[in-house]
Every structure is written in C-alpha cells, then in structure tokens.
C-alpha cells in the first residue's frame, strides 16, 4: 500500500477515534440514565423507534466503529502475525463491511420497529 | 584516589550471536565510568575484548552498550550511578547484529537514516547569500530541540518496535528527518515525508517513549515522530505524499 494510503488510513483511524470518544460517552451516559427506572425492551423501543435523531446518532456511531476497528485490527495482525499483508487488507475490509452492514441494519431495525 | 579495597564484579558479553558472559574482577575507583571499566578489562585482563569508543566525552556516539540491562553511553555513565551493589553486566546494544563482544554492526542503523532521507537537500548554491532564519521562529525552534543527536544508537536499541519490525526506520532516523522537515533551506520534503510515512515509518511508532527515556542527550524522538505524523497527515490530505 502506498505511503499516502497508509497515512490516510492512520488519519481515518484518529478522526474516527475522536468521533467515538463523543458517541461512546453519549451512548453510555444514556444507558446509565435510562436504566434508573428499570430496563425494558419496550422502553428502549419507545425511545428510538421513529426517532430520526437517534437513527442519525447510531448511524454515525456504526460508521465510526466500522472505520476504527478494522484499521486497528489490520495493524495488530500485521505486527503480530505472519499472515500476508494483502490477505490482512482483504480481511480488514470484509470486517469493515460486516460491521457497517450489521450495525446499520440494527439501527434501522430499531428505528422502524413494528413497521413505524 | 584509588579505593583498591573494593572490587567490582563485572560480567562482559563475549562472542558474537552465540556467546556467554565472562566475569572479570575490576578495581573500584572514584569517578570511574563504565567505559573506564571496559578499558581496564581490555588493557589489563583480556586484550582480545572487542569494544568501540572514540571521544570519551559524550560527543561521538560510539561507546554505547547495554549496562545492567539498559542502553547507555558508557563514557558518561558513572559506575556509582548504575552499579549500587558493585555488579556490572555489560552487553552489546540490542537490535543490531553483534560483530564481536561489545561491538555491534551499525550499518543497518545508519542505512535507515539515509532511507529516511536524512541528508540535507540544498535549495541554493554556494554563490547564494546566507539564509536568514529567525532563531525564535517556530520551525527553527522545532529543529533545535531535535538537532543534537550524536547517532549513538541508544534509542534504536531501546525501541521495542524496532525489535518486532526490523524494517522500522527507528527513532534516530525519524528524529533526523524531523529536523530537516523544519529546515527552511531544505528542498527535499516531499520525498522525505513519503519515505517516513507508512508501517515501516512514523506510523509504526507506538509512543512507548523508551527512546526519550534513554536518550543520553535528553532528546525526545517520540515528539519528533508525532510531528512527522502530523506533517505526513497534512501532506496526504493535500495530495502531496
């Protein structure tokens, strides 16, 4: 991979980390706030269902995870295993697609829960 | 002066890739450096001991060794500071092939400085007037903080990333590149930034900061590498990498 591509990956990981710092804090803060009165599926669905704000929030969350995780995993595999670099790139890209697909599907599924 | 009553228990690595530590009794003296100890062994006890030194005053960067597990410049390391219990274990530097005993092959180390484009690339010829650079300008200050490297290899021997990725350019070469990135007279930055980017370059650094911890000149190569990460990031965004 070219020096420019490697550097852009590094930048993408740093920027996604900054995004994650904020969204993870909001996510955990909401959990702590929401469980005060007990935790039920109904309450969660009541909060996120049909709420475009939460859909956008978790859309960004999933995007940041799908960018950040696979780049880090790629670096770890390259440093710690003898797996060929090309194969690691393909595996990391596939992992990114998997995270984005399943994550967005979950976020959209809750948004439209019950056919709303 | 001499305190002949007490002796140091000095074990010194003998051999190349395969070898062993050999024990030598060396008289303890006041104001004795580790280099003095090694020199005593070579001149009085075993003339076949191979080691390297030159200036003896912390300028040339040739006498670095591993002393009680830590890479140090031996000419400026007092025995009293590192051998509280009178024991010294002296080994060659890590991360470089051992030629014999305490002498390592530094060719790869210096080759990496060249690979990181560590040579000045002038933009003016000798007919040009002196470049005028304000001493307090930000770039001049950044170059200043990193410029005093003597190429002793202590940081390189202390870097775990070099150990597990032998292609990694290492703290000294990257620190050198950073001084030139900040040199207003230099015209080679596009190639230099491309040379230091990537997984064998600045982006491989884990910021363990062993280089900073061990540098005998109290430089901070980790900070220089962080500067290179910023510079390569901006260059990549601008399409100049």
Total structural domains in chain A? 1
Burial B122-144 (b: 16+ CB within 10 A, else e): eeeeeeeeeeeeeeeeeeeebbe
The last residue of one of the domains, among B45, B75, B104, is B104
- Other residues' Cβ atoms within 10 Å of the Cβ of residue A87: 11
* Beta-carbon contacts of residue A70 (< 8 Å; ≥ 6 apart): A92, A93, A95, A96, A99
For B83-123, write each residue's pLDDT tens digit: 989 999 999 999 999 999 999 999 999 999 999 999 999 99
Residue B178 has a pLDDT of 98
Q: Are both B89 and B123 inside the same structural domain?
A: no
For B35-67, write each residue's pLDDT tens digit: 999 999 999 999 999 999 999 999 999 999 999
Closest Cα in chain A to B238? A4
Q: Are both B84 and B119 inside the same structural domain?
A: no
Query: In this model, does residue B1 exceed pLDDT 60?
Result: no
For A22-79, write each residue's pLDDT tens digit: 999 999 999 899 888 788 888 888 888 899 999 999 999 999 999 999 999 999 999 8
- ipTM of model: 0.81
Total structural domains in chain B? 2
Residue B234 has a pLDDT of 96
Which CATH number belongs to the domain containing residue A72 in this structure? 1.20.1300.10
Under the banding of pLDDT at 50, 70 and 90, the label for residue A114 is low
Q: How far apart are the first and last CA of chain A?
A: 45
Q: Are both B175 and B78 inside the same structural domain?
A: no
Closest Cα in chain A to B166? A79
Residue B161 has a pLDDT of 95
Closest Cα in chain A to B236? A4
Query: In this model, does residue B180 exceed pLDDT 90?
Result: yes
Q: Are both B117 and B209 inside the same structural domain?
A: yes
C-beta separation of B86 from B6 below 8 A: yes
Cβ of residue A78 closer than 8 Å to a chain B Cβ: yes
Domain hosting residue B56, numbered range = 2-104
Residue A41 has a pLDDT of 84
Q: Are both B118 and B81 inside the same structural domain?
A: no
Average pLDDT of span B149-169: 96
Q: Are both B131 and B195 inside the same structural domain?
A: yes
Percent with pLDDT over 70 in chain B: 98
CB contacts of A14 in chain B (<8 Å) are 233
Out of A4, A6, A11, closest to residue B199 by CB: A6
Average pLDDT of span A14-20: 97
Q: Are both B148 and B233 inside the same structural domain?
A: yes
Interchain contact, B203 vs A10, CB within 8 Å:
yes
Q: What angle do CA A11, A16, A17 make, to 5 degrees?
A: 100
Out of B165, B197, B229, closest to residue A79 by CB: B165
Residue B5 has a pLDDT of 56
Query: In this model, does residue B4 exceed pLDDT 70?
Result: no
Q: Are both B97 and B112 inside the same structural domain?
A: no
Q: Are both B98 and B167 inside the same structural domain?
A: no
Interchain contact, A10 vs B237, CB within 8 Å:
no
Which CATH number belongs to the domain containing residue B228 in this structure? 1.10.1060.10
Average pLDDT of span B61-79: 97
Average pLDDT of span A90-112: 95
Cβ of residue B191 closer than 8 Å to a chain A Cβ: no
Domain hosting residue A71, numbered range = 3-115
Which CATH number belongs to the domain containing residue B92 in this structure? 3.10.20.30
């Amino acid at each position: 991979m070219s020096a420019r591509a490697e550097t852009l990956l590094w930048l993408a990981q740093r920027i996604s980390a900054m995004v994650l710092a904020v969204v993870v804090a909001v996510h955990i803060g909401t959990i702590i706030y929401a469980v005060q009165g007990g935790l039920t599926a109904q309450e969660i669905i009541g909060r996120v269902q049909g709420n475009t704000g939460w859909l956008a929030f978790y859309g960004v969350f999933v995007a940041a995870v799908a960018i950040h995780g696979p780049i880090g995993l790629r670096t770890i595999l390259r440093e710690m295993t003898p797996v060929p670099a090309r194969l690691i790139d393909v595996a990391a890209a596939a992992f990114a697609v998997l995270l984005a697909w399943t994550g967005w599907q979950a976020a959209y599924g809750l948004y439209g829960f019950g056919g709303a | 002066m001499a305190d002949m009553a007490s002796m140091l228990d000095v074990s010194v690595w003998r051999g190349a890739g395969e070898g062993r530590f050999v024990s030598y009794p060396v008289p303890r003296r006041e104001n004795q450096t580790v280099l003095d100890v090694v020199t005593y062994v070579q001149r009085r006890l075993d003339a076949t001991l191979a080691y390297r030194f030159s200036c003896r005053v912390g300028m040339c960067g040739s006498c670095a060794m591993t002393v009680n597990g830590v890479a140090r410049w031996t000419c400026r390391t007092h025995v009293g500071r590192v051998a509280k219990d009178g024991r010294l274990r002296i080994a060659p530097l890590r991360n470089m092939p051992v030629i014999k005993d305490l002498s390592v092959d530094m060719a790869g180390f210096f080759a990496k400085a060249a690979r990181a484009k560590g040579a000045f690339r002038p933009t003016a010829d000798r007919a040009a007037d002196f470049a005028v650079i304000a001493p307090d300008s930000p770039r001049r200050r950044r170059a200043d903080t990193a410029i005093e490297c003597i190429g002793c290899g202590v940081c390189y021997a202390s870097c775990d990333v070099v150990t597990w990725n032998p292609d990694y350019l290492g703290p000294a070469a990257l620190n050198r590149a950073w001084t030139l990135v900040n040199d207003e007279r230099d015209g080679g930055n596009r190639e230099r930034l491309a040379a230091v980017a990537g997984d064998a370059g600045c982006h491989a650094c884990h910021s363990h900061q062993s280089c900073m911890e061990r540098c005998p000149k109290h430089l901070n190569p980790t900070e220089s590498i962080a500067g290179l990460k910023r510079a390569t990031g901006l260059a990549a965004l601008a399409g100049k990498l």
